[in-house]
Amino acid sequence: MDIKQRFLNYATIYTGSSEGSSVTPSTKEQFNLAHELEQEMNEIGLSDVLVDENCYVYGFLPATKGYENCKHIGFIAHLDIVSDFGTREIKPQVVKDYNGNAISLGTSGRFLDTEQFPHLKNALGKTIITTDGNTVLGADDKAGIAEIMTMCSELIEKQIPHGKISICFTPDEEIGHGAALLDLDKFDADYAFTVDGSSPGEI
């Protein structure tokens, strides 16, 4: 499965968090994606995969032979999306070879254009994924999840040498609780990166 298909699969699973909740995760729907990822992580070959009672998803890539003494690196992304716009039925649309014109968002009557979103000019000729205009897309942060999962898959399939790698997908980031119950002892990384940015190559 390529990174685009992964993202499209994840985006259609509703995972809106709720500020009014007093429990973690704040919505049970986040478990739907968590368990989907648990299955996929096991299928591609991660070890010690676990979804805990608070909807934190852990998985690990053991160091390849000869790289056991490398620094232990972690990667984190969040499962939840904002829940304050649209319905729960998220319908991504794919625009191939973007030509610079306004993008119609399904039949919603909404558009994306370069006047309102000038960074679209940087996407000429590329593939753009949007919603149909009736919901958020949830690329924040399901794009990050897709990137991390694809990285793990390629490291395994292409037998690329690496030190130990920890993965964690967290709930409730959009309501400010994303790291509250992350088990740092279990995660066990010397350094970690949150894959949740904007421009390609940005750190």
Q: Are strands 110-112 and 191-194 parallel, antiparallel or unpaired?
A: unpaired
Q: Evaluate whether 183 touches 56 at the Cβ level (below 8 Å).
A: yes
CA distance 155 to 73: 14
Q: Are strands 191-194 and 73-78 parallel, antiparallel or unpaired?
A: parallel
> Which member of 38, 172, 173, 174 is catalytic?
173
Q: Known catalytic residue: 43?
A: no
CA distance 98 to 122: 10
The Cα angle at residue 139 between residues 181 and 31, in degrees rounded to 5: 40
The residue assigned the tokens 């000019």 is 121
Q: Known catalytic residue: 173?
A: yes
Return the sign of the alpha-carbon dihedral for residues 113, 118, 123, 129: negative
> Which member of 80, 140, 147, 174 is catalytic?
80
Q: Which residues are annotated as catalytic?
A: 80, 173
